[in-house]
Amino acid sequence: MYKKLVITILLTFFAFNANAGSDGDLALKASEPEKINDCFEKLNRATFAFNQGLDKTVIKPIAKGYKNLPDPIQKGTSNAVKNLSALITIPNNLLQGDIKTAIINTARLAVNTTIGVLGTIDVANKMGFPKYEKEDYGQTLAVWGVGSGCYLVLPVLGPSTLRDTAGSFANVLGGDPWYNASTHGNNEFLSERLYLTSKALSGIDFRANNIESFENLETNSIDFYASVKSLYLQDRENKINNNQRGNIEVLYKDENDWEEIDNK
């Protein structure tokens, strides 16, 4: 009851703050993007600097160590984390009215969790299942018509918006009662601890795969903060519109999850 009350208050707060204006265009968009204001720029830049320091002293060294692990271990970890993310995706498929995809992803989860040894092997992909696309509560709020609100940089988690931050609270606090797989019937199949562990592993896996990409981006950016913000907002809009253009895929959080930078 307490969790539901907290989520309701947060969603109400962010909904009332979801109509902020804009401070410019995003250059790589073919059509006019949603305009998002950097209302908290000074605070955001300070948090961004803190995150960079944390990355250089803690996250990047861990990612380098992870990258030196045998490929099968890295691939298995990546597959397992991706499989767990389906526990967030499927309820959001349903909330967005996409019943067909929810059924497909439920079957994918069942196959990979059982035959695929807890998701370490992507058997569903080998069986020809459609490409898996992650969904989260921030995307669902957008589908429901909630505006993004101001841009926000979260400590450790990184780029976000007010709407996506509300979605992240729903992920952590709300759980997913659609999956009551606990033998005790307490709806804790994806507990907060397991969720946060999966997010940490996902972040390390992403960081390890993009060490050089981030170094190049930082070196070639006049304003690294502005570059990351622009890329993140473009990537989120593509995901909300289910429009993977393939030219740029960016950053992490969400719910939402970091995605690999892909410059095709």
pLDDT digits (tens, 9 = 90+) for 194-246: 667 777 888 888 888 888 888 888 889 899 999 999 989 998 988 888 754 43
On whether residue 78 sits in a domain, the answer given is: no
Q: What are phi and psi of 183, to 5 degrees?
A: -65, -20
Q: How far apart, in Å, are the Cα atoms of 53 and each of 62, 64, 155, 250?
A: 14, 16, 11, 20
Q: How confident is the model at residue 34 (pLDDT cuts 50, 70, 90)?
A: low
Q: Please determine, for residue 178, whether its predicted confidence score (pLDDT) is greater than 60.
A: no
On whether residue 111 sits in a domain, the answer given is: no
On whether residue 101 sits in a domain, the answer given is: no
Average pLDDT value for residue range 69-94? 90
Q: Which two tokens stand for residue 150?
A: 């101001």
On whether residue 31 sits in a domain, the answer given is: no
On whether residue 60 sits in a domain, the answer given is: yes
pTM exceeding 0.85: no
> Is 154 exposed, middle or buried (CB count within 10 Å of its CB: 0-12, 13-18, 19+)?
middle
On whether residue 118 sits in a domain, the answer given is: no
Q: How confident is the model at residue 171 (pLDDT cuts 50, 70, 90)?
A: low
Number of domains in the chain: 1
On whether residue 83 sits in a domain, the answer given is: no
Print the domain residue range for 145. Answer: 2-17+37-70+131-240
pLDDT (tens digit per residue) in 93-127: 999 999 999 999 999 999 999 999 989 999 999 99
Whose tokens are 């709300």? That residue is: 174
- What's the pLDDT at 127? 95
Q: How confident is the model at residue 176 (pLDDT cuts 50, 70, 90)?
A: very low
On whether residue 58 sits in a domain, the answer given is: yes
Between 85 and 6, the more confident residue is 85
